[in-house]
Structure 1
Amino acid sequence: MARVVVDVPLAHLDRPFDYGVPEKFADTVQAGCRVRVRFHGRLVDGVVWELGGTTDFAGRLQPLSHVPSGEPVLTSQVARLARAIADRYAGTLSDVLRLALPPRRAAAEKRPSPTPDALPGPPDPAGFARYTAGPALLTALAEGRPPRAVWSALPGEDWPTRLAELCRAALSGGRGALVVVPDHKDLDRLEAAAGRLLPEHSFTVLRAGDAPEKRYGQFLAASRGAAQVVLGTRAAMFAPVRDLGLVVVWDDGDDIHAEPLAPYPHARDVLLHRAYLDNCAAVVAGTARTAEAALLVESGWAHELVADRATLRAAAPRVQALGDDFELARDPAARSARLPSMAHEAARRALASGSPVLVQVPRSGYVPSLACARCRAPARCAHCAGPLGISPRPGPDGGRIPACRWCARPATTFDCPHCHGTKLRASVVGEARTAEELARAFPGATLRVSGRASGVLATIPGGPSLVVATPGAEPVVEGGYGAALLLDSWALLGRADLRAGEETLRRWMNAATLVRPASAGGAVVVAADAAHPVVQALVRWDPAWLAERELADRRELGFPPVTRIAALSGSPAALAEFLEALRLPADADLLGPVPEPPRPGQEGERERYLVRVPRAEGAVLAHALTEVQGVRSAKKALEHVRVQLDPLDLV
């Protein structure tokens, strides 16, 4: 008898079902392998949860229809983790397994996984010697103990090498390691470092962009135990690492770590669950620090891994803030405010010394956001209510006409519905427009642009040049930048977002860490009010202080991570039916409803409620939501209610 989790994402069917094992499959089927079964008259995919000799089912068991392969792709550890994550996020097991298991490719299963070389010795502790308790962390990993740390990397730190050293320490003790980074650019750097420090074939890399057969082959290298170290992006958080001894998430504040598919888990939370379930080491690492990481330190679950102030001052660039008139910087027509004399002078000095200059702007495109010139209300498309913007590509006549960013219809005329103004102004300037401005300000300088619209540059050669980049797309240069200019700070700090300050500091510090130390002439100029707490945290290079402040503010206001919040979205009728059946904890707060922001292709009126409970009641809330989803699924409710726990965006 085989208990099978069928690939049917219906909440009331979220459990394994018993099937008989025909004699012809007796030598092939095993726990964790893929099967095909008949379910309600349809042939569906499934995974064998476990094998057993008895069943509680009173009737005759349906036999397994087909066993494509006896390859056990679902390990017992990942199965336990998948169940825990489904319960935590009020999702179904089949949804989590769809995220955890890549599609099968028969050709990859036929190839043997290469055998790694012998276990390496412990890494050189010199890299971590600059951090208090850094060498002790490596020693604990090599001895197989489960330390937990929140690591704040120094400015200019070669973090891919440090992460590879952590993996080597775990590997030297006979344990596996799993490292998750935000994007392919970070993964390329990490893979290069692992190639230098880890034995050949001892690690595998899981990339979402790889061909399906290659990715499945790399997945099999981990599930078979051939590769004990797995490096990857968000999709690797469920990787089947054998004898897991260490999990690491780099830059956990990056929203790329949040899975956009149900049940919407966050890579940091999944890895911390793995550390708990498998009793292994965990490191939450980054240049900046999130409120969630601050809570780990405050609760005692993890310890800080930081350098002393003298070491920090020796590594950090000089940071200068402007901010005499915060509102003046909001007018892109005022060149003196957008590129003030202090920033201009810092760039000029760096270029004169033969160094590249990094210019960070918050948005991609040319002018991605427009507003009414009279009342400053966001400009919307008259057809679909999408945002108006200006493309970097000129029209046939050489001019640039505003157009909708959703339906692409040109807005040849504009009539503001609030004040009936007819003129538009740029509310946000993108990297393409910024590049034009800099080309005029620094004639003759080599200009490079890195961003989603123009293409992301991973590295650039040394020498004098201006590099305009959006957050996350800053290329790396050997020896570091001579200066970094952080422009349009109001676009980041002024967002109506719970994480606006935390996210702004993360983006600024990730750019500033690419700049040379102050002793080598490195300078960072941020166009923001020097009295702002986020700017102060950057000037003092103290992300822990801002994270603790954010955590205290959120505790006082009842926001995550000290509470758990569920977002319920749907039509007013579906939400009313959902809430009527929902049995909330006694101390839950129901907030709403509010209209849900319009989305491309969305039809009909939609609303959103927020349900807030103390963190200790999070499991009770998730269970209550799952119950209602199960009842609605069994009744075949016509309208779906989207349930998301711990959403990053609460606005």
Structure 2
Amino acid sequence: MSASEPVARVLIDSALPQLDRLFDYAVPERLDAIAVPGVRVKVPLRSAGRIAEGYLVERAATSEAKGELARLEEVVSEARVLTPEVRALTRRLADRAAGSANDLVRLAVPRRQVRVEKAWLAAGPVAALALPEPVHPSGYGAGLTDAVSRGARIALHAVPRLVQAQGTWIGHWAASLAALAVTTLASGRSAILVVPDYRDQEQLETALAAIAPEGHVQRMDARQSNPDRYRAFLACLEGAPRIVVGNRSAVYAPVQDLGLIALWDDGDPLHAEPLSPGVHARDAALVRQEQSGCALVVAGHTRSTEVQRLVELGWFEAHEPERHAAPRVIPTAEQDDGGERMAAIARIPSSAWRIARDALEHGPVLVQVARPGNSAAAARRGEPVAVTVDAGRTAEDLGRAFPRTRVIVADGERPVQRVDGRPALVIATRGAEPIADGGYRAVLLLDGPRMLSRESLRVAEDCLRWWSNAVALAAEHATTVLVGVGGAPARALVTWRQELLAASELEDRRRLRFPPAVRTATIASDLPTVRQVLHELDELPHVDALEPEPVDEGRFRAVVRFDYGAGRAVAEHLRAAVIRNATGRRSVAREGGSRPRARLQVRLDGPEAFG
């Protein structure tokens, strides 16, 4: 480079952890006008003798690098796709998770679609759209809207009922979040609404279609085609306020002047990103809220232990609905002595059978079960049968117990999103329950003991979340029967005080040093590598490790627990270990030859730490 050439600092798009930093390149005169922060570029890699792609992050007058700088090869496009806010977000999240910012940038910036991008650049600046009038969510009073306007962090207890939006029944929660988003838009700021799956997204889009002006709402989710997703991404770059609706990666949407992030049902495992470094949407939202000063609303019919911890620390404000009666939930034993023959055929308690029978005179009844399929048919074929009675078998039994009644099965293999208001038995697995017009006239929650027998740290809060979400689909004054469950989960559901279970679970985990009372890291590699990393972490305070366990041939895994205050030091140590492992010798000697060096894998706060 000549002394007069400016410097571009580039993030190279690479999966190699040792390349997760900025590299300095000289900017030739021919590229000076268009080599601006945020654009995609191509640069030479001296060590590999090839051209790599990346993002120009910042410009500088000089470089501290020794020797002559290589020059930028090409500016791929003038579209500035990596905004400073998203760049800062991905960097901070990667540092917190001992991961690479590159991996998060791939989630935040969709793959380039050349035709879409050229059309967008050719179109030029878009005309400003008229802003809507504020819409206040019903059932909460002015306090909720005021809290959002001042950028508060809010744990929102959703109203457990259905409402109509343009003639379509949706959850009250969807109408509430849509109203908060539109009110944020009315102030000239953007909103991001993050949901677990397409069912929730459809409800939000229905709610927004009723109150948001056309052109302000952008959908960003994994079901879109690549061109459509990129088109929506580019629209967020235009500078006008937007409402973005999507799944977990929507939290990275590059909207301008962010005023609200809302996360629905944060306990749903679909919010956990499976790709490295595995940042949960809730954690990404918390960091982005802190960076931008926007409001953050985490809403649900239940409260996760992570949010409960933040409420108890005063980091979140808890907002409850005003003057709303709790749903009617009746616990009952798995078997009772009601003597109803049809109840015995259906293999449900007589009290539940009578409630379902009476409710079917007025409309549909929901029956929630644990698993899909048909174990009865499997048994006839000589296949192993699980203890749980599944959706197919339950449908057969209830069909005999309620002759001449429609039976609808909804599960992962047979998705059903909506049913009409006519009488029907709707047998649905947890999380696959359709919305019924006007709400279900009764809800039966079966398989509770089997759901609770699952080996998982989160089993109680997961079950309460599944049950509560099903109860919220009931019509007003409808009865829900919880079969065969007692103790704290049943009390929390019957009293509709789910936060009590979250508080109890959190207290138990504090005593045991389980997450979220502490943070965790899982370390996987061969045994010598794992033990070396654990030895290095022993030097840090407030850190303890469980003994490594074998996971497959030659590979071991260890779980490390550490206090939140030690998070930065632990992440830095683990990141350094990953880079050393990646840049070390390609093989290690052994008798009779050599073997490939075992890869070191690290994940912080992953769900696999304790199941």
Question: TM-score over 0.5 for the alignment?
Answer: yes
Q: Distance in 1 between matches of 2:287 and 2:518?
A: 18
Counterpart AA for 2:310: L
Q: Distance in 2 between matches of 1:281 and 1:254?
A: 21
Mapped pair 1:323 → 2:333: yes
Residues 519-561 of structure 1 deviation map (CA, whole Å, 9 limit, x = unaligned): xxx111111233x100111111111111111111111221111
Report the secondary structure of 1:83's partner residue.
helix
Deviation at 1:429, TM superposition (A): 2.9
Deviation at 1:10, TM superposition (A): 2.2
Aligned position for 1:37? 43
Residues 206-252 of structure 1 deviation map (CA, whole Å, 9 limit, x = unaligned): 02111100100001111222452211111211111111111110000
Report the secondary structure of 2:510's partner residue.
helix
Aligned position for 2:15? 9
Question: Which of the numbers 493, 496, 511 marks the counterpart of 1:541?
Answer: 496
Counterpart AA for 1:566: A
Counterpart AA for 1:9: A
Question: Which of the numbers 461, 465, 470 marks the counterpart of 2:420?
Answer: 461
Q: Distance in 1 between matches of 2:293 and 2:345?
A: 56
Superposed, 1:192-591 pairs within 5 Å as: 192-308=206-322, 311-313=323-325, 316-323=326-333, 338-353=347-362, 355-367=363-375, 399-402=380-383, 425-454=385-414, 456-518=415-477, 522-530=478-486, 532-582=487-537, 584-591=539-546
Residues 426-472 of structure 1 deviation map (CA, whole Å, 9 limit, x = unaligned): 32332222222222222221111111122x21111111011111122
Unaligned runs of 5+ residues in structure 1 are 329-333, 368-389, 403-423, 597-602
Counterpart AA for 1:248: A
Counterpart AA for 2:27: V
Q: Distance in 1 between matches of 2:314 and 2:233?
A: 34
Aligned position for 1:608? 557
Q: Distance in 2 between matches of 1:51 and 1:493?
A: 56
CA contact (8 A) 1:207 1:232 kept: yes
Mapped pair 1:620 → 2:569: yes
Tell me which moved more, 248-257 or 31-40: 31-40
Deviation at 1:335, TM superposition (A): 5.6
Q: Distance in 1 between matches of 2:335 and 2:513?
A: 33
Distance change (3 Å), C-alpha of 1:156 and 1:173: same
Give the CA RMSD over aligned residues: 2.2
CA contact (8 A) 2:335 2:348 kept: no
Q: Distance in 1 between matches of 2:394 and 2:249?
A: 34
Aligned position for 1:380? none
CA contact (8 A) 2:520 2:562 kept: yes
Report the secondary structure of 2:419's partner residue.
coil
Deviation at 1:7, TM superposition (A): 1.5
Unaligned runs of 5+ residues in structure 2 are 1-6, 163-171, 338-342, 587-596
Residues 456-491 of structure 1 deviation map (CA, whole Å, 9 limit, x = unaligned): 211111110111111221111121001111111122
Percent of residue pairs bearing the same amino acid type? 39
Distance change (3 Å), C-alpha of 1:284 and 1:481: same
Q: Distance in 1 between matches of 2:400 and 2:178?
A: 43
Aligned position for 2:146? 139
Residues 254-275 of structure 1 deviation map (CA, whole Å, 9 limit, x = unaligned): 0000000000000011001111
Mapped pair 1:67 → 2:75: yes
Report the secondary structure of 1:67's partner residue.
strand
CA contact (8 A) 1:178 1:231 kept: yes
Report the secondary structure of 1:44's partner residue.
strand
Deviation at 1:187, TM superposition (A): 0.7
Q: Distance in 2 between matches of 1:71 and 1:401?
A: 60
Aligned position for 2:167? none
Report the secondary structure of 2:254's partner residue.
coil
Q: Distance in 2 between matches of 1:347 and 1:605?
A: 55
Aligned position for 2:165? none
Deviation at 1:105, TM superposition (A): 0.5
Tell me which moved more, 205-214 or 104-113: 104-113
Aligned position for 1:98? 106
Superposed, 1:177-192 pairs within 5 Å as: 177-192=191-206
Deviation at 1:605, TM superposition (A): 4.3
How many residue pairs align between the two structures? 574
Tell me which moved more, 569-578 or 606-615: 569-578
Aligned position for 2:88? 80
CA contact (8 A) 2:277 2:603 kept: yes
Q: Distance in 1 between matches of 2:89 and 2:156?
A: 25
Residues 130-169 of structure 1 deviation map (CA, whole Å, 9 limit, x = unaligned): 33xx41231354xx52122100012105211111111111
